[in-house]
Amino acid sequence: MTLRRFANVLPLLAVLGSVTALGVGTSFAKQLFPVVGSLGTTALRVGLSALLLLVLWRPWRWPLPRADAAAVLRYGVALGFMNLLFYLALRTIPFGLAVAIEFSGPLAVALHSSRRPIDFVWLALAVAGLSLLLPLGHSATPLDTVGVLYALAAAVCWGAYIVFGKRLSHLHAGQSVALGLSVAALAVLPFGIWQAGSDLLVPQTLLFGLGVAAVSSAIPISLEMVALKRLPQEAFGVMTSMEPAVAALLGLLILHEQLNALQWLAIVCTMLAAAGSSVTAARQA
């Protein structure tokens, strides 16, 4: 009985561990900003993550038709610029709020094709959460406009990443992720080299970047694959909707980023919208 209970809890723990590892890795990555800048940090994180996953999955073991190669290219470019724009947003707005704004991308994709009344509830919650975070003058501590625009651009890339990723669902997950991250690395490396140059090759920086890459990419992806094999789609979606709150808490604990009541309310609205849309979308499917 104990083993059965553990087997039931394992996928939930895997999702929680994935979300937490991603947040911890990103929080520590932000500490590289003074050393190599946001663009250099993106290059290190994505580039070293790609190397780790290439070694782990060895994607060349599977054939890749030309049509799939073009799809991987689009998928990887969207992934690379999603990371690049998100790290640019982190320069001026708190981690948890950047994640909440970025969530508007996958929410838009999830709600795009749905016309049921309940889905308009999730849309209203998402709009309410987003409006609380946009620099419209209603908050005592309005967010930096440029940072918000970067987060919104990252949301667009996240939506594109999901759309392009679905077109690769017939490939082995390890192959598509490893190749996609490799394309992403090639897309963002020029920006990192332009900003940081040879500072990217300092041994201490490389070692710290390797740790960030492992915690924010290799570990979360591996845990997500464990969870996806054992969880229904709606349960997985509900669990991952915790990400804005986890990011806000980690931003508070690691980066000492304080949020006000309206900003916490915005995060709650975003989480409810993400969880609700995951459940209804999965039931409709």
Cα(208)–Cα(159) distance, rounded to whole angstroms?
30
Span 180-206, average pLDDT = 95
- Model confidence at 1, pLDDT cuts 50, 70, 90, reads very low
Domain membership of residue 187 (yes or no) is: yes
When pLDDT is cut at 50, 70 and 90, the band that residue 100 belongs to is very high
Domain total for the chain?
A: 1
| Stated length of the chain | 285
Distance of alpha carbon 16 from alpha carbon 55, whole angstroms = 25
Band of the pLDDT at 110, cuts 50, 70, 90? Answer: confident
**pLDDT tens per residue across span 76-88:** 999 999 999 999 9
Q: In this structure, what token pair is assigned to residue 111? A: 């709600």
Report how far apart, in Å, the C-alpha atoms of 213 and of each of 121, 134, 216 are. 37, 30, 5
> Has residue 256 been placed in a domain?
yes
Tell me which of 241 and 23 has the higher pLDDT: 23
3 within a domain of the structure (yes/no): no
What pLDDT score does 221 carry? 79
Q: Which residue has the higher pLDDT, 158 or 223?
A: 158
Q: To the nearest whole percent, how much of the chain has pLDDT over 70? A: 88
Within 10 angstroms of residue 284's Cβ, the number of other Cβ atoms is: 11
Per-residue pLDDT of 200-222, as tens digits, reads 999 999 999 999 999 988 788 77
| b/e per residue 242-253 (b: at least 16 CB within 10 A) | bbbbbbbbbbbe
End-to-end alpha carbon distance in the chain = 33
Determine, yes or no, domain membership for 14. yes
Give the orientation angle of helix 66-90 with respect to helix 145-166, to 10 degrees: 160
User: What is the rounded CA–CA span in Å between residue 24 and residue 188?
Assistant: 22
Residue at 198 is within a domain: yes
Q: What is the pLDDT of residue 192?
A: 97
Domain residues for the domain of 76 are 10-284
Instruction: Name the average pLDDT for the chain.
Output: 87
Confidence of residue 27 (pLDDT cuts 50, 70, 90): very high
1 domain residue, yes or no: no
Q: Would you tell me how many other CB atoms lie within 10 Å of the CB of residue 202?
A: 14
- Is position 2 within any domain? no
How many other CB atoms are there within 10 angstroms of residue 177's CB atom? 26
CA 276/CA 283 separation, integer angstroms: 11
pLDDT tens by residue, 117-144:
787 888 888 888 888 888 765 555 678 9
Q: Distance between CA atoms of 253 and 249, rounded to whole angstroms?
A: 6
Q: With respect to residue 5, please indicate whether it lies within any of the assigned structural domains.
A: no
